[in-house]
Chains A and B, each alone.
Chain A
Amino acid sequence: MHVVVCVKQVPDSREIRIDPVTNTLIREGVPSIVNVFDLHGVEEAVRIKEQFPGTRVTVVSMGPKSAVAALRECISLGADEAVLVSDRAFAGADTLATSYVLSEAIRKVADQWGPVDLVICGKQTLDGDTGQVGPGIATRLKLEQLTYVERIRQIDPEARRITVERHLEDGVEVVETALPALVTVVEGINQVRRASMPGMLRAVRYEPITWTVDDFPEIDRTRIGLKGSPTVVGKAWVPEPVSRAGETLTGQDGEEGPGTPAEVARQLFDRLLATELPAQIGWAVAPVPAGDGGAGTPDGSPVNGGVA
């Protein structure tokens, strides 16, 4: 088996902030990580390798030189080889151009290290969130395409079949198809291991293979980088924070008199009934006779409340 995993180095989205003036990402000081879903892909590939000895795991990434760190992390987990496709000519690519370059890179990987049986991608990236690159590669390489995979049930290298469970909104779909195939994986597929010491040592010494645009003599230069990217970001903005006036209903302990918990709960319920909420969720509300538990307190005085 030859498994290729596509990975991307992304800014750690947990630490991303947006410059309120320019509306662009503040990248300075934001640590870079391997896209989380891709890391699960690497883990899954290494597990396949453990299941079928002799399997080869090749990791491919397109990105700047600094992505070497991401590739080393993949090596530490047990990948055999890592290739960084890096050139100014590739910069500024959208998902169309990216999937084109990655599919060309996978062809080249196959030329170098043998036919590829399985390509694994994360279901999407943390920074782009499109989920388009995996399917784009599958289309170009004419691979069977299985997205949102949360479990690989079985791989039969002899019969060249793969059976997976796809995590869908309304349930789990069990699908079987022929290899070679491309799967995109969700986080739940596995738990990424902590690298072993030999893995760590191999990774810190490992120098990923770098391919520039010149390593792809056949590539159509009009379809790569910014030129090959028809996607245009029309506008990006930070939603204005909407301040919602809160209200606090207060009361007191006890079973009788005004402001008991039961009384306050009733007030709250009446308030909610008076909003648009019942209509929104399809509740038919019977009109309540005035003075019989309508909005307000039983004696008609204003509700004891305040802006929170």
Chain B
Amino acid sequence: MAKEHFDAVVVGAGPAGAAAAYTMAKAGLSVVLLDRGEFPGAKNMFGGIIYRHELEELIPGCTQERTFPVERHITEQRYWLLGPESVVSIGHKHERFNSEPYNAWSTFRVKFDPWLAGKAEEAGALPIYQTVATGLIRDRSGRVIGVHTDREDGDLYADVVVIADGVNSLLAEELGVHRTWRPDEVSLAVKEVIALPRETIEERFNLEGREGTTIEFLGATSQGMTGLGFLYTNRESISLGIGVMVSDLMRSGVKPYELLESVKAHPMIRRLIKGGETKEYSAHMIPEGAWRSMPKLAGDGWVICGDAAQMVNFVHREGTNLAMASGRMAGETIVEAKANGDLSAQALAAYERRVRESFVGKDLKKIQRMPEFLASQDPKQLFDGLIGALNEAAFRFFTVDSRPKAQTHKEIMQDLIQAAGGPGGLLRLAWRGWRAING
């Protein structure tokens, strides 16, 4: 059988792959969109937050559609610093977030992914699901000219292969652009979806109608490991989870599900999920290496997008967003290259420049020192010691007794400084932390 040739084969129909396929198909390119799942998102655990801006950039007007698969629009974001039985919180709620156009929504990727891939299909991309891309096909010069799949007669040939097969990208590994991630470059997130009646959620989180709340939490819940917890309200459920560095998990020997159980038992969280029924439990790796772990993004006959290229802004919980943006930029680059009749590695390298010059690259660069900063800190001191001391300080600050305030405040400061390892330690920590989130 004569082999068909396509303009592009996209491996992985998650947000990165779907965005790339959509962009190219819409411009009239012939595109095959491969996914290993029964349908896109079938295996996805993400119950999280997606943002309007990039979606509208990709498909104008799509967030207004009746079928846009979201749960609640986010009007309030809280940050919790947790002691073993206490919390210091800051947060922000704004009525402006409660009017269209909304900024962000909670959603389930198991619904969102098929919807987005459906857009690519409508635009003309050919969906081939339940199919694994098992390897790359190269010509004598080494140029990637297609993929092998696990189906009979399964080879697919294309001008460009878009690699968007996620955090454990087999193709990128074969290509040699990325190695197996080190345990300190990836976190393991465990999550439960806990069903609760709509009214209960609205009462507990002080919500009206389709408003939603997010809570990110740090501290005692990560049991002395570097980790970040999250709680998002869906329409009739709560997504609750925690991600911790794989290297820390290995060191501590804590089992991921035990970790989540202890999160659920924390007094500040327990009461929010009380009476809820766990509907599903899942776990997934999240790339945390940011800028410095990002591989080369384009080469001879290939580009790489999304999680497969470590594009996750863990400080601002944007992974899906960066995936879509990088997929769109890859698609745009290939469309232009095709129009210019130049699909050389040099032409595709424009994608890498595009990413690095966009918010994707700039944001990832801004937090580039974060992994290093976190690795340099003793997580026990940071997440237990310092956050614990902050909670104790708050407790004493708000406790009224016969002691003069000045004395109490002085003691509080002393304890905080001590928890940070002395006056120098606090300054160093503040300086490094500042640098870590500001490039």
Contact = CB atoms under 8 A, between A and B. Distances in A.
B203 interface: no
Nearest to A196: B152
Contacts, number: 29
Contacts of A200: 128, 131, 151
B131 A198 contact: no
Interface in A193-211: 194-198, 200-201, 204-205
B152 A197 contact: yes
Nearest to A200: B128
Interface residues of A, number: 9
B45 to A, nearest CB: 18
A76 B71 CA distance: 35
A32 B253 CA distance: 43
A194 B4 contact: no
Contacts of B155: 197
A197 B126 contact: no
A54 to B, nearest CB: 18
A200 B131 CA distance: 10
A198 B1 contact: yes
Nearest to B152: A196
A201 B32 CA distance: 9
Task: Classify the interface of chain B: helix, strand, loop or mixed.
Answer: loop
B154 interface: yes
B86 interface: no
A204 B151 CA distance: 15
Contact of B156 (A194, A195, A197, A205): A197
B65 interface: no
A197 B134 CA distance: 13
Interface in A175-209: 194-198, 200-201, 204-205
A196 B150 CA distance: 9
B98 interface: no
B4 A196 contact: no
A198 B128 CA distance: 11
B4 A201 contact: yes
| Centre residue among B1, B151, B154 by max chain A CB count within 10 A | B151
A196 B153 contact: yes
A204 B153 contact: no
A194 B32 CA distance: 19
A194 B151 contact: yes
Contacts of A198: 1, 153
Contacts of B32: 201
Nearest to A194: B151
Contacts of B131: 197, 200
A195 B126 CA distance: 15
Nearest to B127: A204
B429 to A, nearest CB: 49
A176 to B, nearest CB: 34
A201 B131 CA distance: 12
Interface string A35-55: 000000000000000000000
B418 interface: no
Contacts of A194: 151-152
Contacts of A195: 151
Contacts of B44: none
Nearest to B154: A197
A170 to B, nearest CB: 39
Interface in B132-154: 149, 151-154
A201 B157 CA distance: 13
A196 B128 CA distance: 11
A196 B151 contact: yes
A205 B152 CA distance: 18
Interface in B345-396: none
B9 to A, nearest CB: 11
B279 to A, nearest CB: 13
B154 A204 contact: no
A50 B127 CA distance: 27
A196 B154 contact: yes
Contacts of B156: 197
Interface string B207-220: 00000000000000
Contacts of B152: 194, 196-197
8 contacts: A195-B151, A197-B153, A197-B156, A198-B1, A200-B151, A204-B127, A204-B128, A205-B126
Given A197-B149, A201-B128, 7 more contacts: A194-B151, A196-B154, A197-B152, A197-B156, A200-B128, A200-B151, A201-B126
